[in-house]
Amino acid sequence: MVEIRLLAYVIKKLCISCGACQNVCPTEAIIVPRKKAKAKVFESKCIACPNCSGICPVDAIIMVPRKEPLRLGVQSMDVDEVKIKELCIKANLHPHQWLCICGTIRVREGAVAVLTGAKSPEEISLRTGARAGCTAYCLQPMLRLLKAHGVKVVQPKGYRWYDTTQTCWDVTEEIIKKYPGHFIEEDKEVFRKV
Amino acid sequence: MHGKASPSFIRKSVYGPAPGPRAAELPGIVGLELRDLFPDIPKEIYTEGGDLSVIRKATENALKNVNMDMIRPTDKVNILSSQYGYQIMGGDVYAEMIRTIKDVVEERTGCRNIRLRVTTGFRIREPNEIIRHYKLNEYFHGKALGVRPIDKGVPIETEIGTLYGVAQVYDADWIIHAHHGELRELDMHRMINRAIKPFSMSYARMETRAVAHMNFGPRSSNFVAKVIFNSPFVQSKFTFGCFLLTSPGGIIGVDAGNDMERLDRRLMLLGFKSYGKIRELFNEIRECIAVMDATGEPRYMIGGGMTFGNLTEAELDLFDLDKIPVSLGYGLYERPAGAPKLKSINPAIKALVLNHMWLGVPQLELATHIPTVVVGRELADLLRDDPMNHDFMRHVVTSENLGTAMEFARRISQTDQVIVFDGSFGAITLSASLAEHLIARAPEVSRRVEEQLMPKWLRQRGIDPEELSNRNH
C-alpha cells in the first residue's frame, strides 16, 4: 500500500502551455487539453512523482499537501497464487523482487494488477502506486509482466515511455559469443538459482 | 599521523537542507592521511582548493595525441558531462577539465559551435543548478543545456534491439565523452566497460537505464553500455573520451583517447591500484557510526576518497568477479535458502547520522537496515516528502542538532568509532579510536591486496599479473 500525501498544483498565471509536463507524467494525470490552454491536473490520478514539477521550465507546478492521502495498492488474495507465480516465471521475474523500490512494491503486486485487468504501465501504477518515485526502474518489470500476459503494449504518443524491454534472456548465443567476458550466461545461471 | 580533517564544499540545492555545522568540527574528530596508511596510492596533482591551472595543463597534455580531425569548423559538437563529476571535490575541478576541452577543441579545429550537455539521474533540477553554479552557460556562450532521463528520446539500433538515448545528448554532429575515473557504482559496472557506462546511464533515456539496472545481472549489466557504444549511431558521432583520473588521494591526472577500449583498460588498472587497498581496509572496520555530511546522496558520498557505498558493501569484494551480489533488479527481497548472497548493508555500520545529504535516489534500505538519526527539521521535512523514499521517515528518528544526534548514535551503537563521509580526499575524517584501528590493520590489508587479491582481479580480466609487473618495471 502506497500513501500519496502530495498533489501537483498548477500556478495558472505562470503556465506557458508548453506541454512538457504531460510527456513525463506516469499516469496521464496532467494534460494540456488544447493549444494555449493551461495545464490541468486530475487529482485522482496524480501519484505525486517529481517529474512534472521538475521538468516545468517556468516553475509553474508545485507539490501541495492533499486534503486526504490517496492510498493505492492491490489485494493479492484476489488472485490465485499459482497464476501469480506462472506469470512471474513467464516474465523471468521473481515474485518477491522489487517492482518499485521507491514505493516498496513487489513484482507479485504488479502481477496481481495485470491479472486483474491492468492493460498498461499507467494502469498498473494507478492500481499499485508504483512509479510514484523515480518513475524509471519499475517500468521494466511492468512492461515485462504485461507482455508475458499477452497484452499488446501500445507505446503512447509523445515520449512518456518507449517500448523497449531487452533482458539477458533475449541475448542470442551469437552475440554472447561475440562479447566474451560479459558474464551473460553466468548471470542467467545466478537468476535461475534465485 | 592524525591531522585536521578537511571536509569538501557543500553546494546548495533544492534537494538538500542549508549547510550547517560540519561533522569535522566535532570534538575528537581528526583527519587520517591515506598516504600514511598506503604510501603507494598514486600521487595526486590536485586537491580541493588547489590551483586549477594544473588541471588545465593536464587536460591540454592529455588531448595532445587525440585525433580531432573529424571535427570541421562548421560542425556542431556536444561535450557530454555527468552530474556526479560536479560532486567531486566541490566540482570546480571537473568543470575546469570541461572548459579546457572546449578551448582545446576550438583551437585545434576552428569549430565554434561547441555545446555542453549536463546530464543527471533522478534530480531533475540538478543540471540547471550545476550550469548556474559553475557559470557554464556564460562559458559556453549560451549553449549549456541540462538533459534529464525523462526528456525526449532518440532510438539507437543495437545488436540486442532498439534502445533509447536522450535526444539532446546526440543532437550534434559529434560527441565528446567527458567523464571521471571515480568508482561510483562498482556494484553495477564491476570494472567491466567502466569507461563507457554513461552510454547506458547518463546519456540514456530512463527505459534504457532500467534495462541495464533491472534486466541484466550483477556482472552483465554494463553489457548494455557496450552494445549502445558499439552501435553505428553512437560510433558515427563519437570522437574521443577525456577522463579526470582520481585516487583516494585526489586528482591524479587527466587521460584521453579516441580508443575507448584502451582507455578503459588504463582506467581499470588504475582503479585497482588506486582503490583496492582502501576498499579492502573498509572491510576491516568492525563497528562504526557513519556520518553523512557532503553534497549528494549517501550512497555516492565520499569519505577518504571512497564512496559510502564501498562501506555498505565492504563485506563483498566487488572487484572479484566470483562474488555475486544480486544487483538491483533481482536483489533486495527476502531470499530463499541457498540463493546467492544479496547486495548487503554491512552490519559493521551500527548507526547512521544524516547531517547533510541530498534526496534523489531510492535509499530506503539504509533506514530499514541501520538505526538512523536525521539531523534537523529541514532535512526531516525534505525526506518526509521525498517521493523516492516514501517510508524513510517511518524508520528513523530526528535530532535537533548534530551534537545530540551523535550522542544518541553513540548510545544505541555502543561504539566511539566514527567515520565521516564529508567529501574529503587525501584523508579520512574519523574518530581517533577508529584511526588507531585502521593504522593497525593497514599493513595486513596491503599484503593481502598485493599478494592475493590484485593478482586475482587481474587474471579474472585476462591480464597476467607477472607480465604487467615486468612491463611496469
Question: pLDDT of B41-70, one tens digit each?
Answer: 999 999 999 999 999 999 999 999 999 999
pLDDT of residue B472: 60
d(CA B291, CA B418): 7
pLDDT of residue B237: 98
CB A16 within 8 A of CB A60: yes
Q: Is the pLDDT of residue B350 over 70?
A: yes
- In chain B, which residues have their Cβ closer than 8 Å to the Cβ of A174? none
**Proportion of chain B above pLDDT 70, given as a percent:** 95
Which grid cell sits at B290?
A: 557513519
B206 and A136 in contact by Cβ < 8 A? yes
Kindly state the average pLDDT of the residues B101-110: 98
Q: How confident is the model at residue B326 (pLDDT cuts 50, 70, 90)?
A: low
A167 and B215 in contact by Cβ < 8 A? yes
Task: Give the contacts of B323 (CB within 8 A, at least 6 positions apart).
Answer: B316, B317
Q: Is the pLDDT of residue B28 over 50?
A: yes
- Rounded to whole angstroms, the maximal C-alpha distance in chain B is 65
pLDDT in tens, A109-166: 999 999 999 999 999 999 999 999 999 999 999 999 999 999 999 999 999 999 999 9
> Among A47-51, A104-108, B388-392, which range has the highest average pLDDT?
A47-51
* Global ipTM: 0.96
Q: Is the pLDDT of residue A95 over 70?
A: yes
pLDDT of residue B324: 79
Kindly state the average pLDDT of the residues B99-109: 98
**What is the DSSP track for A16-77?**
----TGGGT-TTS-EE--STTPPPEE-TTT----SHHHHH-TT--EEEEEEEEEEEE---GG
Q: Is A101 on the interface with B (CB under 8 A)?
A: yes
Over the Cα atoms of chain B, what is R_g?
22
B211 and A24 in contact by Cβ < 8 A? no
DSSP-derived 3-state class of residue B112: coil
Q: Is A44 on the interface with B (CB under 8 A)?
A: no
Kindly state the average pLDDT of the residues A21-44: 96
pLDDT of residue A96: 83
d(CA B192, CA B226): 10
Closest in B151, B162, B210 to A136, CB measured: B210
Sign of CA dihedral B228, B230, B231, B233: positive
Angle at which helix A107-115 crosses helix A81-90, to 10 degrees, equals: 110
- In chain B, which residues have their Cβ closer than 8 Å to the Cβ of A187? 216-220
d(CA B431, CA B141): 47
Q: Is A193 on the interface with B (CB under 8 A)?
A: yes
d(CA B295, CA A31): 35
A134 and B328 in contact by Cβ < 8 A? no
Q: Is the pLDDT of residue B332 over 50?
A: no
Q: Is the pLDDT of residue B342 over 80?
A: no
pLDDT in tens, B146-198: 999 999 999 999 999 999 999 999 999 999 999 999 988 888 889 899 999 99
Alpha-carbon distance B138 to nearest alpha carbon in chain A (angstroms): 19
A187 and B340 in contact by Cβ < 8 A? no
Q: How far is CA B207 from the centre of its chain?
A: 22
Q: Which of B351, B330, B352 is nearest to B342 (CA)?
A: B330
- In chain A, which residues have their Cβ closer than 8 Å to the Cβ of B328? 98, 101, 137
pLDDT of residue B333: 43
List b or e across B367-385, with b for residues whose CB sees 16 or more CB atoms inside 10 angstroms.
Answer: bebbbbbbbbeebbebbeb
A164 and B388 in contact by Cβ < 8 A? no
Kindly state the average pLDDT of the residues A90-119: 92
Q: Is the pLDDT of residue B10 over 50?
A: yes
CB B174 within 8 A of CB B77: yes
Q: Which of residues 311-370 of B touch A (CB under 8 A)?
A: 321, 324, 326, 328-336, 338-340, 361-362, 364
pLDDT of residue B336: 54
d(CA B464, CA B453): 13
**What is the DSSP track for B321-370?**
TT---B-TTT-SS-PPTTPPPBP---TTEEEEEEEE----S--HHHHHHS
pLDDT in tens, A165-180: 999 999 999 999 999 9
First to last CA, chain B: 31
B389 and A179 in contact by Cβ < 8 A? no
pLDDT of residue B329: 53
Residue-averaged pLDDT of chain B: 93
CB atoms within 10 A of CB A120: 18
Q: Which of residues 81-120 of B touch A (CB under 8 A)?
A: none
Residue type at B18 in one-letter notation: A
